[in-house]
Amino acid sequence: MDKTLFPGYTVGPDAYDDIGAVCSAYGTKVAVIGGRRALAAARDAILKAVEHTPLEVIGVFWYGGEASRENMERLRPQVEQADMLFAVGGGKAIDTCKVLAHETGRPFFTFPTIASTCASCTSLGIVYHPDGSLREYSFSKIPPNHIFINTQIIADAPDIYLWAGMGDTMAKHYECTISSRNDTPAHSDAMGIALSSLCAEPIVHWGRQALEDCRAHKITPELTEVILGIIISTGFVSNFVQVDYTTGLAHAIYNGFTVLPGTEAHHHLHGEVVSYGILVMLTIDRQSAEREKLYRFSRSIGLPTCLADLHARPEDLGAVTAKALSGIDVRVYPYPVTEQMIVDGIMEMEQYHQSMG
């Protein structure tokens, strides 16, 4: 038997007004788990929204700083009495709470405080070791019951999260369509692939204005479109498609750059490096019109378009390509990807960048 579940969502500056009506069906006792900055941003608004409802918050807990097994085990006794969990944060705090909810059989609700990843919409949990290195994917078919997207809190957050989140979101469309190209997708995969078109075009269209509005802490239709693209469109695609379609060459290239001390030392964000990976991926895939469109967009908002933007040099590429192909990202791909292909793609991008002035 195959079961598919969908999260509901509420979006707007008053999104938390829905908490009582939506969550009361699942019990009364709530444990809130979040990141430090996320809780500082959302805690009071959540507590206030819960005040005149049947719900009772039995505790507010810091997730521990890493989405690790250790933190999940530490939190387990603290949520013992709770009927449901509220996950508050960006990526890792949400995933910590999500895996805990899955493993303890509790419903969970998410409260994204930044728009940087689709973690608050997905059923997949990503678990890390305490040192921050990847431990495992925690697979589940159970997404959050509902996502409360308070656009004012997201508009008040640092705009770099939205900026990098746009890169990661656009990758979802290109990776999903390229990775699945040689297959005949079954219904669920096909739905995800079709939906993925909402992860690229709207970002290119609204992205620049959305970023300006986020800098001004102003909720506008453009900012709301981009927030929904990053959290909802991308999350739904992820929930619909098989794992090999959620990743591809842009993420392989991201993984490659994680070995470079220069890229790490300058704290380049995940989605930022991924956005550069899309440009190389499109170069290798010979999609020159799409590449030009994305290149112009990336340049317009300061996303990286050449090696120097990532504090990387051509002589680093050996290490980058070896690491890039060590994961599962291009395991399902319409053609075999070689290290030489990636080097050539990156060098061709360097030339293209030069030619664009």
Q: How far is the CB of 85 from Zn ion (least distance, A)?
A: 24
Which amino acid does the sequence have at 187?
Answer: H
Are 142 and 136 in contact, with CB atoms under 8 Å apart?
Answer: no
- The stretch near Zn ion (CB under 5 A) out of 79-87, 166-174, 231-239, 290-298 is 166-174
Stretch touching Zn ion by CB under 5 A, among 52-60, 68-76, 165-173, 288-296: 165-173
Residue placing its CB nearer to Zn ion in the complex, 168 or 329? 168
3-state secondary structure at position 224: helix
- Of the two residues 164 and 306, which places its CB atom closer to Zn ion in the complex? 164
Decide whether 168 or 213 has the Cβ nearer to Zn ion.
Answer: 168
Q: CA neighbours within 13 Å on the CB side: how many for 36?
A: 3
DSSP tag of 231? I
- A 10 A CB-CB count for 276 gives 26
Interface size with Zn ion, residues (CB under 5 A)? 1
Minimum CB separation of residue 321 from Zn ion in Å reads 19
| Nearest residue (CB) to Zn ion, 55 versus 342 | 342
Binding part of the chain for Zn ion, among 58-66, 160-168, 327-335, 342-350 by CB under 5 A, reads 160-168
Q: Using CB atoms, what's the residue nearest to Zn ion? A: 168
The count of residues in the chain is 357
Can residue 225 be called a binding residue for Zn ion (CB under 5 A)?
no
Of the candidates 66, 95, 159, 168, which one interacts with Zn ion according to CB under 5 A? 168
For residue 113 the two structure tokens come to 């405080």
Contact 128, 66 (CB under 8 A): yes
CA separation for the pair 103, 254 (Å, rounded): 30
Q: How far is the CB of 118 from Zn ion (least distance, A)?
A: 9
Helix (H) or strand (E) holding 62: strand 56-62
Residue that has been written with the tokens 């598919």 in this structure: 4
Which residues here bind Zn ion, judged by CB under 5 A? 168
